[in-house]
Structure 1
Amino acid sequence: MTIIRDRELIEDINDIPVALIVSCIKEHQAGIPRLNKLEKYYEGEHAILERPLAGEEMGLPNNKIVANHAKYITDISTGYTFGKPIKYEGEQIEPITAAYKEIDIVSHDQEMAKDLSIFGIGLELHFMSSDEVPIPKVTVIDPRQIFLVVDDTVEYKSLFAVHYYEKRDIDNEVIGWNINVYTESLIVKYFAKDIESGDYIMVDVLDHYHQKVPVVEFWNNEEQQGDFEQQISLIDAYNLLQSDRINDKEQLVDALLKLVGVSLGDTEDEQSETAKMIKKHKIIELPEGADAEWLTKGLNETEVEVLKTAIKKDIHEFSMVPNLTDENFASNSSGVAMKYKLFGLEQLAVIKERYYVQGLRERLKLFANILEVKAKAVKVSDVEITMIRNLPENELTIQDIVSLIGLVSNATLLSLLPFVEDATEEVKKLKIQLKEDRERNQQAFGFPTDPSDHPEDVTGDDAEIEE
């Protein structure tokens, strides 16, 4: 939902015309119904729930079964692609990784990934915390409340961003709109009773020090579509088939009794009383030549099951998210064999990763800019970003790892242990511990120690551990 405008429409990049803001808001609101529909499908509010009630007026069953494949697709694709923390490697990247850890960027990425999977787009807002010592923070904003405006060049450079939301009184009644406009150096706050009127009242103007528009837009794919968006018609068909299947079963149970050559009574009361007696005693007495049989609807469960299986298969095939309850996933498979089974999901993850990394680089630049203001040197041009798939793997045993001693570095060996988060740091800790143990033993036996031998001097990922 990126909004494109000609840069020449803005004379001063830090003074966005209100008319332009109103125009962009109108364009953004035109796409909100689509986003509302996608959210409803994720939450289980499918079209089948709006099924007409005409059948109920005739006493016919009208079941509304929701099989929430939309939520399944989003949860699996998000968990597979973003289930493990993203790794950042590069020179002078420590201040940013420390800032990321302080604000729990892993949880933020999970929230962003969910928005991408549902809406096809996600936006995050960068700001400084209100603490006594402010720190850079970032938050995910609902894409129905925020948008980014870029220029019409091939680079699509950011012009400004708008975050707007309803303002409510003490009784939670809507009294107007708050509109925050973010430029390269300012945050301009407006209030309007009617968002489309153009009658905006400027409330405040604040500086920010990100040196860029502090809003990053992430894409799920080139089309900016959600993971289940193209499968909605198949999901509706599956819900309809299952609902009608239950309806047919109910009608079979409530079958009509056909009587030939006999009457249950002359009046409605007599007929009702006879029907109750038949139901109670499960017996009906008929005169000679009369007959009784149930009128039932023929059900071909085999054909229905084939159709159900075909629709479900199409949902998983076209979404590229496999059915993990399928028999193909029942056996204990190695990590490599599992990757072959998840080949389609891997292609989906590759696309999601490609576009997500682009957004991550913009995030790095914003954090670098604000940390430079705080006199912390950061270099992000050569940062390597690695996204690790959340895939079951065969864990090496301790004996397997011990057998590799002398063949690979200590940092690599420690990285193979699942309970070690940072192998490099663990090597340093072990080196310090061994030196402290050696000094303690030397003092115990009266040997002199070298005062210049400090464990803090130990550096390097592949430093040898003294035995």
Structure 2
Amino acid sequence: MAIIRDRSLVEDINNIPIPLLVSCIAEHQTSIGRLNNLENYYKGEHVILARELSGDEMGLPNNKIVANHAKYITDIATGYTFGKPIKYEGEQIESISAAYKEIDIVSHDQELSKDLSIFGIGLELHFMSSDEVPIPKVTVIDPRQIFLVVDDTVEYKSMFAVHYYEKRDIDNKEIGWNINVYSATSIVKYFTEKIDAEEYELIETLPHYYQSVPVVEFWNNEEQQGDFEQQISLIDAYNLLQSDRINDKEQLVDALLKLIGVSLGDTEKEQSETARMIKKHKIIELPVGADAGWLTKGLNETEVEVLKNAIKKDIHEFSMVPNLTDENFASNASGVAMKYKLFGLEQLAVIKERYFVQGLRERLKLFANILTVKAQAVNISNVEITMIRNLPENELTIQDIVSLIGLVSSETLLSLLPFVESSEDEQKKVQKELEERMKREQRSFGFPTDSPEDVTDDDAEIEK
């Protein structure tokens, strides 16, 4: 998340004081523990895996079951909201559309949306490629390595950004830190052996032409929280319940044999021999009045199953990401019925979309600025951004489309066909085929095939 500082602390925005950088980096590092924990949960490294039994419990089963609801929530929420490419419509944005296509912005958005869902925040860095003919590019930076510094006004305007990461030697051993500071006009590179050092070694200063801080911060929601962050305690409870459930099953298999009124032997050797004989022959002879049985722990599977389902339901309810494998999601459900079942997920997507679009507009400004420098005029004032949900829908059959002939235009009908990429291009092809067919038929009956504007004066005289 962005770090807030008073703008008066920076006299020259292109020369950020080292003490201010040290202070901002120290504040940013206080959030890294939380971000590490969120990534661990997405990767399946849950707290249950660290559970150890105490001395009194040594020898008992200690299963560690991980049900990775965190990954499920992120993958479903991300796929639903960002599964389809974002559409941009407006005048004079062809240059930006071409630049987006060249750098495969769709894949970039997918990667960025994953960071948003896990960490609650995502940051992208804008830069020019190192090609012979440089082009504007963007890359997603781990939020544990980069942050944006904004002023303390109500507008929270960007002042500068800091990207810092470990510098390593040929043996991959840490030897210090590279620190890149991005202002509205330049990139200042430093090196330090210790991140909390009071002085940094200046490496170089490079200009850039984005006319603004080339780092955009995206939010997942107002709280800047991940999609599963508030459900971590429920996820832990589910893992614990499932792990102990397996432990109880193992203890049931390893039950103790209870003997009443009989002994297996007078010495340990005799007892061991008798136990081996019982295990081998599966039979035991008891005197009159004696009894034998298993000493087991009673298991109430019904209660455990009810508790498991209750926790699982709470995880999906409070994350607003439904369980798509539930029986409520029948395979023959219509698209409209599916939308009602996904109503909670849609509300989550609306929030994610609202904050994501804000970041997309900042990205458009940076691309417009740099393309203007490259003498490519761009107008982003009226750009309309549309995000399409990745929702399964019923496809119309050919019979359904044929029944609409005469009710809607041919271009609309063609757009309903899933194998037609461009209804406009397809309509032109159909028109061309019709014209060629008409000419063939005219020739077969001896009629002229040239259109009136193609007929010359000589041709007209011959016809007379």
The corresponding residue for 2:206 is 206
Deviation (angstroms), 1:438: 8.3
Deviation (angstroms), 1:21: 0.9
Aligned equivalents of 2:24 and 2:264: distance in 1?
Answer: 72
Write the letter of the residue equivalent to 2:202.
M
In the alignment, structure 1 residue 253 sits paired with structure 2 residue 253: yes
Write the letter of the residue equivalent to 1:247.
N
Deviation (angstroms), 1:277: 1.3
The corresponding residue for 1:183 is 183
TM-score with structure 2 setting the length: 0.92
Write the letter of the residue equivalent to 2:415.
S
Change beyond 3 A, Cα 1:443–1:174: farther
The corresponding residue for 1:268 is 268
Is contact 1:179-1:190 (8 Å) kept? yes
SS of the aligned residue for 1:329 comes to: coil
Deviations 1:341-393 (A, max 9, x none): 00000000000000000001111111111111111111111111111111110
Deviation (angstroms), 1:442: 9.8
In the alignment, structure 1 residue 341 sits paired with structure 2 residue 341: yes
In the alignment, structure 1 residue 387 sits paired with structure 2 residue 387: yes
Deviation (angstroms), 1:423: 4.0
Write the letter of the residue equivalent to 2:73.
I
The corresponding residue for 1:80 is 80
Is contact 1:442-1:449 (8 Å) kept? no
Alignment of 1:137-152 (within 5 A): 137-152=137-152
The corresponding residue for 1:101 is 101
Write the letter of the residue equivalent to 2:287.
P
Change beyond 3 A, Cα 1:38–1:257: same
The corresponding residue for 2:153 is 153
Aligned equivalents of 1:343 and 1:370: distance in 2?
Answer: 40
Is contact 1:167-1:178 (8 Å) kept? yes
The percent identity for this pair of structures is 81
Write the letter of the residue equivalent to 1:398.
I
SS of the aligned residue for 2:264 comes to: coil
Is contact 1:87-1:387 (8 Å) kept? yes
Aligned equivalents of 1:212 and 1:134: distance in 2?
Answer: 19
SS of the aligned residue for 1:274 comes to: helix
Alignment of 1:14-25 (within 5 A): 14-25=14-25
Structure label with greater radius of gyration? 2
Alignment of 1:384-423 (within 5 A): 384-423=384-423
Deviation (angstroms), 1:128: 0.9
Deviation (angstroms), 1:264: 1.6
Aligned-pair Cα RMSD in Å:
2.3
The corresponding residue for 1:350 is 350
Change beyond 3 A, Cα 1:256–1:38: same
Deviation (angstroms), 1:408: 3.9
The corresponding residue for 1:119 is 119
Alignment of 1:366-377 (within 5 A): 366-377=366-377
Deviations 1:432-465 (A, max 9, x none): 777788899999998557999xxxxxxxxxxxxx
The corresponding residue for 1:26 is 26
Aligned equivalents of 2:107 and 2:428: distance in 1?
Answer: 28
Aligned equivalents of 1:240 and 1:447: distance in 2?
Answer: 82
Write the letter of the residue equivalent to 1:259.
L
Alignment of 1:213-232 (within 5 A): 213-232=213-232
Alignment of 1:298-313 (within 5 A): 298-313=298-313
Is contact 1:79-1:390 (8 Å) kept? yes
Deviation (angstroms), 1:170: 0.2
Is contact 1:442-1:448 (8 Å) kept? no
Is contact 1:415-1:422 (8 Å) kept? yes
Write the letter of the residue equivalent to 1:348.
L
Aligned equivalents of 1:134 and 1:422: distance in 2?
Answer: 32
Deviations 1:395-428 (A, max 9, x none): 1223433444454445433332223444445556
The corresponding residue for 1:45 is 45
Deviation (angstroms), 1:54: 2.2
Change beyond 3 A, Cα 1:69–1:402: same
SS of the aligned residue for 1:191 comes to: strand
Change beyond 3 A, Cα 1:342–1:168: same
* Range with greater deviation from structure 2 (260-269 or 146-155): 260-269
Aligned equivalents of 1:200 and 1:402: distance in 2?
Answer: 72
* Structure 1: gaps (5+ residues): 453-467
The corresponding residue for 1:7 is 7
Change beyond 3 A, Cα 1:435–1:377: farther
Write the letter of the residue equivalent to 2:365.
K
The corresponding residue for 1:459 is none
The corresponding residue for 1:325 is 325
* Range with greater deviation from structure 2 (180-189 or 263-272): 263-272
Change beyond 3 A, Cα 1:216–1:433: farther
Alignment of 1:445-464 (within 5 A): none
The corresponding residue for 2:279 is 279
Deviation (angstroms), 1:52: 1.7
Deviation (angstroms), 1:31: 0.1
Change beyond 3 A, Cα 1:173–1:433: farther
Is contact 1:181-1:189 (8 Å) kept? yes
Aligned equivalents of 1:9 and 1:430: distance in 2?
Answer: 67
TM-score with structure 1 setting the length: 0.91
Change beyond 3 A, Cα 1:403–1:102: farther
The corresponding residue for 1:457 is none
* Range with greater deviation from structure 2 (393-402 or 123-132): 393-402
Aligned equivalents of 1:402 and 1:252: distance in 2?
Answer: 65
Write the letter of the residue equivalent to 2:256.
L
Deviations 1:194-243 (A, max 9, x none): 01112211111111111111110000000000000000000000001111
Deviation (angstroms), 1:5: 0.7
Is contact 1:368-1:379 (8 Å) kept? yes
Aligned equivalents of 1:437 and 1:380: distance in 2?
Answer: 45
Change beyond 3 A, Cα 1:294–1:364: same
SS of the aligned residue for 2:328 comes to: helix
Aligned equivalents of 1:434 and 1:165: distance in 2?
Answer: 64
The corresponding residue for 2:128 is 128
The corresponding residue for 2:67 is 67
SS of the aligned residue for 2:178 comes to: strand
Deviations 1:26-69 (A, max 9, x none): 01000000000000000001011111222796321011111000
Deviation (angstroms), 1:430: 6.1
Deviation (angstroms), 1:270: 2.3
Write the letter of the residue equivalent to 1:264.
L
Change beyond 3 A, Cα 1:131–1:204: same
The corresponding residue for 2:195 is 195
SS of the aligned residue for 2:106 comes to: helix
Change beyond 3 A, Cα 1:212–1:395: same
Write the letter of the residue equivalent to 1:41.
Y
SS of the aligned residue for 1:170 comes to: coil
